[in-house]
Structure 1
Amino acid sequence: MTLNRITLMFPLALVLFEFSVYIGNDLIQPAMLAITEQFGVSATWAPSSMSFYLLGGASVAWLLGPLSDRLGRKKVLLVGVAFFTICCLLILLTHNIQQFLTLRFLQGISLSVISAVGYAAIQETFEERDAIKVMALMANISLLAPLLGPVLGAFLIDYVSWHWGFVAIAAVSFLSWFGLNKFMPTKQESRVRQPFSYIFDDFKKVFTNRRFLGLSIALPLVGMPLMLWIALSPIILVDELKLSSVQYGLAQFPVFFGLIAGNIILIKIIDRFPLGKTILMGLPIMLIGTLFLILGVIWQTYLVPCLLIGMTLVSLGEGISFSVMYRFALMSSEVSKGTVAAAVSMLLMMSFFTIIELVRVLYTYFHIWAFALACVTLIGFWFLQPRAALKQVMLERKAEGIN
Structure 2
Amino acid sequence: MQRTLITIGRRQVIGFCLALTAFELLTYMASDLVMPAMLDVTTELQADIRHVPNAFNLYLLGGICLQWLMGPLSDRWGRRRLLLIGCAIFGVACSAAFAAHSIEAFNLLRLLQGMGLGFVISVSYPALQEVFCEADAVRLMALLGNVALLSPLLGPLLGSLLLQWLNWRELFLALGLVAAMVWLGLYAWMPETVGVIRRDGQHQAPIPFSLKRTRQRYLALLGNRRFFGASLALGLMSLPLIAWIGLSPILLIQLLGQTPLEYGLWQMPIFSAVIVGNLILNRLLVTHALPELIRIGLWPLCMGLVALLGCALLAAGPVPVVASLALYGVGLGICNATLYRLALFCTEDSKGLVSAMIGMISIAVMGLGASLIAAIGGGTRLDFFALLSALGGLTCLPLLHGFLHDAKAASTKAQ
Q: Give the TM-score category using the shorter length.
A: over 0.9
User: Among residues 96, 121, 146, which one is paired with 2:152 in the alignment?
Assistant: 146
Which TM-score applies when normalising by structure 1?
0.94
Return the alpha-carbon distance in structure 2 between the equivalents of residues 262 and 56 of structure 1.
Answer: 28
Structure 1 residues 194 and 39 mapped into 2: Cα distance closer, same or farther (>3 Å)?
closer
Which TM-score applies when normalising by structure 2?
0.91
Q: CA deviation at 1:55?
A: 1.3
Partner of 2:4: none
The runs of 5 or more residues in structure 2 that have no matched partner are 1-6, 195-203
Query: Is residue 176 from structure 1 mapped to residue 190 from structure 2 by the alignment?
Result: no
Q: CA deviation at 1:365?
A: 8.2
Query: Is residue 28 from structure 1 mapped to residue 45 from structure 2 by the alignment?
Result: no
The answer to whether the 8 Å contact 1:17/1:172 transfers is: no
After TM superposition, the structure 1 = structure 2 runs for residues 6-155 of structure 1, keeping only pairs within 5 Å, are: 6-155=12-161
Partner of 1:388: 402
Structure 1 residues 268 and 364 mapped into 2: Cα distance closer, same or farther (>3 Å)?
closer
Partner of 2:229: 214
Report percent identity of matched pairs: 34
The more displaced of 183-192 and 87-96 is 183-192
Query: Is residue 282 from structure 1 mapped to residue 297 from structure 2 by the alignment?
Result: yes
Return the alpha-carbon distance in structure 1 between the equivalents of residues 85 and 8 of structure 2.
Answer: 27
Q: CA deviation at 1:53?
A: 0.5
Return the alpha-carbon distance in structure 2 between the equivalents of residues 70 and 2 of structure 1.
Answer: 21
Return the alpha-carbon distance in structure 1 between the equivalents of residues 63 and 295 of structure 2.
Answer: 29
Query: Is residue 164 from structure 1 mapped to residue 178 from structure 2 by the alignment?
Result: no
Partner of 1:356: 370
Partner of 1:347: 361
Describe the SS at the equivalent of 1:43.
Answer: coil
Query: Is residue 272 from structure 1 mapped to residue 287 from structure 2 by the alignment?
Result: yes
Partner of 2:251: 236
Return the alpha-carbon distance in structure 2 between the equivalents of residues 292 and 336 of structure 1.
Answer: 40
Partner of 2:381: 367
Q: CA deviation at 1:7?
A: 2.1
Structure 1 residues 143 and 4 mapped into 2: Cα distance closer, same or farther (>3 Å)?
farther
Structure 1 residues 36 and 388 mapped into 2: Cα distance closer, same or farther (>3 Å)?
same
Return the alpha-carbon distance in structure 2 between the equivalents of residues 365 and 75 of structure 1.
Answer: 41
Return the alpha-carbon distance in structure 1 between the equivalents of residues 11 and 285 of structure 2.
Answer: 21
Describe the SS at the equivalent of 1:323.
Answer: helix
CA offsets 1:153-190 (integer angstroms, 9 cap, x no match): 22244443011211221222222212211221113211
Q: CA deviation at 1:366?
A: 5.8
Q: CA deviation at 1:253?
A: 0.8
The answer to whether the 8 Å contact 1:82/1:177 transfers is: yes
CA offsets 1:270-322 (integer angstroms, 9 cap, x no match): 1111112121111221221123323333434x511111101111211111110
Amino acid at match of 2:234: L
Shift >4 Å, 4+ stretches? 1-6
Query: Is residue 304 from structure 1 mapped to residue 318 from structure 2 by the alignment?
Result: yes
**Could you say what the CA RMSD is over the residues aligned between the two structures, in angstroms?**
1.9
Describe the SS at the equivalent of 1:7.
Answer: helix
Structure 1 residues 94 and 227 mapped into 2: Cα distance closer, same or farther (>3 Å)?
same
Q: CA deviation at 1:197?
A: 3.2
Return the alpha-carbon distance in structure 2 between the equivalents of residues 111 and 304 of structure 1.
Answer: 30
The more displaced of 229-238 and 157-166 is 157-166
The more displaced of 380-389 and 361-370 is 361-370
Return the alpha-carbon distance in structure 1 between the equivalents of residues 332 and 256 of structure 2.
Answer: 26
Partner of 1:256: 271
The runs of 5 or more residues in structure 1 that have no matched partner are none
Partner of 2:3: none
User: Among residues 319, 336, 343, which one is paired with 2:350 in the alignment?
Assistant: 336
Structure 1 residues 3 and 253 mapped into 2: Cα distance closer, same or farther (>3 Å)?
farther
Describe the SS at the equivalent of 1:223.
Answer: helix
CA offsets 1:211-266 (integer angstroms, 9 cap, x no match): 21122111001111111110011111111111111111111111111011111111
Amino acid at match of 1:316: V
